[in-house]
């Protein structure tokens, strides 16, 4: 796992966006995996800047969101269909027809989840998956004790996740209790993973994900199984990392051929 400790939340977004932009530059029809929530907003803002300034073209980019609430109408402002459109598709300028979000309103949710898995496979798989992490270690909405082999399916949101996401709703009771989420097995199939985390509330989860044992109690620890996982955190989210100095050292001494950022950040 490549761990990068950045000076600020903005820098976290810039470094992760540089990685994503580098994938798109090498493959204009790349398939992106999209996370929602606060953590990746800086990535999307940075990608939007690159597109606006003509440094990046995204017309052919395809995308699959990680998850969707069950029971929220698609047009609800907090459905991930709406959120992905307003924070990613429109500002970055993705082609709307090429952006997919799981269907949380389907009459047959199991069939819709299977169809989503097929659609990802038919697209050739995800080239780079953007991820955040919950304070309880979830990625996507794979809550603690999710199977490392899980595929897209219905999950019950943990009470902590509902409480954390209540900030987006008028009242905590309005946060749905269920979601459809890509599984940990689905996420691990992506060719590259880029996870971002900022703030002190993520420090325990980041420590468990990077340095804790491989355990379904911290679903993020599944990243330890992936050969191309990059974790970008700010100082506050890095506060509990035991090997923080080693990660700084390895980042400062990365050989030139691994330093995509130099090319992309300039
Ligand atoms: C949502 C998702 C979640 C979030 C996580 C962190 O699509 O994938 O795993 O990344 O809940 O959310 P924020 O970034 O709002 O703290």
- Is 37 touching ligand 1 by the criterion CB < 6 Å? yes
132 Cα–ligand 1 center, Å: 5
Joined tokens for residue 261: 């950022």
Determine the Cα–Cα distance for residues 165 and 39; give it in Å rounded to an integer: 13
- Interacting residues of 211 by C-beta distance below 8 A, sequence separation 6+: 241, 242, 243
- Is 66 touching ligand 1 by the criterion CB < 6 Å? yes
- Interacting residues of 147 by C-beta distance below 8 A, sequence separation 6+: 183, 184, 185, 216
Burial class of residue 258, CB neighbours in 10 A (0-12, 13-18, 19+): exposed
Eight-class DSSP state of 30 = P
Q: Of 16, 32, 67, 133, which is best to mutate to test ligand 1, by the most ligand atoms within 8 angstroms of its C-beta?
A: 133
257 Cα–ligand 1 center, Å: 31
- CA 134 to chain CA centroid, Å, is 11
Q: What was the pLDDT predicted at 232? A: 98
Q: Of 9, 12, 36, 99, which is best to mutate to test ligand 1, by the most ligand atoms within 8 angstroms of its C-beta?
A: 36
Sign (positive/negative) of CA torsion 232, 235, 236, 241? positive
User: What phi and psi values does residue 189 have, to the nearest 5 degrees?
Assistant: -75, -20
Mean pLDDT by 10 residues, the chain (266 residues): 96 97 97 97 98 97 98 95 98 98 96 98 98 98 98 97 94 96 98 98 98 98 98 98 97 76 48
255 Cα–ligand 1 center, Å: 32
Q: What was the pLDDT predicted at 261? A: 52
For residue 142, the ligand 1 atom closest to its alpha carbon is 9
Which residues have a catalytic role annotated?
A: 67, 136, 138, 143
- Is 195 touching ligand 1 by the criterion CB < 6 Å? no
Closest CA to 251 of 259, 240, 242: 259
Give the pTM. Answer: 0.96
Mean pLDDT of the chain: 95
């Amino acid at each position: 796992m490549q761990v990068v400790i950045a000076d600020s939340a903005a820098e976290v977004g810039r470094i992760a966006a540089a990685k994503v932009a580098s994938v798109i530059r090498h493959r204009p029809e790349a398939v992106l995996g999209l996370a929602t929530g606060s953590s990746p907003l800086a990535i999307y803002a940075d990608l939007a800047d690159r597109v606006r300034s003509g440094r990046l073209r995204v017309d052919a980019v395809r995308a699959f969101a990680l998850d969707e609430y069950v029971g929220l109408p698609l047009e609800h402002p907090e459905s991930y269909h709406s959120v992905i459109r307003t924070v990613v598709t429109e500002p970055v300028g993705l082609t709307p027809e090429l952006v997919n979000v799981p269907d949380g309103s389907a009459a047959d949710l199991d069939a819709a989840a299977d169809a989503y898995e097929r659609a990802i496979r038919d697209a050739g798989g995800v080239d780079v998956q953007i991820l955040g992490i919950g304070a309880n270690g979830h990625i996507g909405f794979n809550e603690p004790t999710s199977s490392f082999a899980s595929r897209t399916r219905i999950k019950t949101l943990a009470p902590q996740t509902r409480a954390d996401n209540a900030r987006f709703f008028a009242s905590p009771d309005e946060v749905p209790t269920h979601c459809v989420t890509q599984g940990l097995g689905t996420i691990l199939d992506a060719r590259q993973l880029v996870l971002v985390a900022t703030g002190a509330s993520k420090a325990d989860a980041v420590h468990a994900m990077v340095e804790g044992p491989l355990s379904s109690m911290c679903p993020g620890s599944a990243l330890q199984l992936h050969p191309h996982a990059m974790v970008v955190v700010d100082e506050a989210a890095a506060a509990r990392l035991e090997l923080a100095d080693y990660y700084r050292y390895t980042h400062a001494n990365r050989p030139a051929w691994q330093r995509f950022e130099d090319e992309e950040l300039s």
